[in-house]
Amino acid sequence: MSTTPEDLTDDDLLNLLTDDQLAELDASIAEMFGAEGLDRAEALLVLARVYSMRAAERDEASALALLQLAAAMRRRAERLMQRPQ
């Protein structure tokens, strides 16, 4: 039985990226969604869910990229929720 991108956990997906790639992805998420006022935990979690659902409609390479983006969004959301208000 082969593993598909959908079978991977968030940690697995993010571990496929280098530290530099992960930092760049996090910065890109903040920049891309910050301008729209969406760099908030709740919004990122909703968007991550949408990207995860869309991944099922894509080829394996595209699905992997979408799932990594969704995992990074969830990770960023968790960090935002841990910040003192």
pLDDT tens digits, 8-32:
999 999 999 999 999 999 999 988 8
- At 79, which amino acid appears? R
Tell me which of 83 and 60 has the higher pLDDT.
Answer: 60
| Neighbouring C-alpha atoms within 13 Å toward the C-beta of 37 | 0
Each residue of 40-77: pLDDT tens digit? 899 999 999 999 999 999 999 999 999 999 999 999 99
Per-residue DSSP letter, 3: P
How much is the CA Rg of the chain, to the nearest whole Å? 13
Q: How much is the mean pLDDT over the chain? A: 90
Q: Is the pLDDT of residue 84 over 90?
A: no
